[in-house]
Amino acid sequence: MSDYRDLFPNTSFPSNGPSEEWMVLNECYPVNQFKEHDQETQMLVQTKPYLENGFVYTIKVEDKTS
């Protein structure tokens, strides 16, 4: 994964980053490193990046073992 400034070095962005419209036009997605889960019975595990519901996730939820 790379930062948008590294991927598009010749493009000027506002201080808050690319607009949602620009992201859609360039097929870019925000990265999310958290998913809702039950901390009592589940844990977050790092994984290869995958696209789900408009976000790239780098974690997945797994059940804890006994």
Count the domains in the chain. 1
Q: Is pTM beyond 0.75 here?
A: no
Q: By residue range, what is the domain housing residue 25? A: 4-63
> What mean pLDDT, rounded, does the chain reach?
90
Q: Which of 12, 13, 50, 6 is nearest to 31 (CA)?
A: 50
**What mean pLDDT is predicted for residues 37-60?**
95
